[in-house]
Amino acid sequence: MKKVLTIAGSDSSGGAGIQADIKTITAHKMYAMSAITALTAQNTIGVYGVVDTPPDFVAAQLDCIFTDIAPDAVKIGMVSNPEIIQTIAEKLREYQAKNIVIDPVMISTSGSRLLSDDALETLHTALLPLGTVITPNIPEAEVLCGREIKTKKDMLQAAEAITASLDTAVLIKGGHLSGDAADLLCQTGNAPAAFLKEWFESPRVENSNTHGTGCTLSSAIACNLAAGRRLEESVRRAKKYLTGALKEQLDLGKGAGPLDHMYRIP
Ligand SMILES: Nc1ncnc2c1ncn2[C@@H]1O[C@H](COP(=O)(O)OP(=O)(O)OP(=O)(O)O)[C@@H](O)[C@H]1O
Ligand SMILES: Cc1ncc(COP(=O)(O)O)c(N)n1
Q: What is the pLDDT of residues 53-108, one digit of tens each?
A: 999 999 999 999 999 999 999 999 999 999 999 999 999 999 999 999 999 999 88
The catalytic residues are: 173, 210, 212-215
Q: What confidence score (pLDDT) does residue 62 get?
A: 98
Q: What confidence score (pLDDT) does residue 230 get?
A: 97
* pLDDT bucket at 165, cuts 50 / 70 / 90: very high
Each residue of 102-156: pLDDT tens digit?
A: 999 998 878 888 998 899 999 999 999 999 999 999 999 999 999 999 999 999 9
Amino acid identity, position 212: G
| Rounded CA separation 255/110 (Å) | 9
CATH homologous superfamily for 3-247?
A: Ribokinase (3.40.1190.20)
* pLDDT bucket at 244, cuts 50 / 70 / 90: very high
Over range 235-259, report the average pLDDT.
Answer: 97
For β-strands 73-76 and 3-11, DSSP reports them as: parallel
Which of the two residues, 13 and 266, has the higher pLDDT score?
A: 13
Tell me, in angstroms, the distance from the centre of ligand 2 to residue 21's CA. Answer: 11
Tell me, in angstroms, the distance from the centre of ligand 1 to residue 225's CA. Answer: 20
Q: What confidence score (pLDDT) does residue 109 get?
A: 79
Tell me, in angstroms, the distance from the centre of ligand 2 to residue 42's CA. Answer: 9
Over range 180-195, report the average pLDDT.
Answer: 89
183 lines ligand 1 (CB under 6 A): yes
Over range 248-263, report the average pLDDT.
Answer: 96
Q: What confidence score (pLDDT) does residue 228 get?
A: 98
Q: What confidence score (pLDDT) does residue 191 get?
A: 75
212 lines ligand 2 (CB under 6 A): yes
Q: Break the chain into its structural domains and give their ranges.
A: 3-247
DSSP states of 158-207: HHHHHHHHHTSEEEEB-TTSSSSEEEEEEEE-SSTT-EEEEEEEEPPP--
The ipTM value here is 0.97
Terminal-residue alpha carbon distance, the chain: 20
55 lines ligand 2 (CB under 6 A): no
Each residue of 188-242: pLDDT tens digit?
A: 987 777 899 999 999 999 999 999 999 999 999 999 999 999 999 999 999 999 9
Q: Of 15, 10, 23, 93, which Cα lies nearest the Cα of 265?
A: 23
258 lines ligand 2 (CB under 6 A): no
Q: What confidence score (pLDDT) does residue 8 get?
A: 98
Percent of the chain with pLDDT over 90: 93
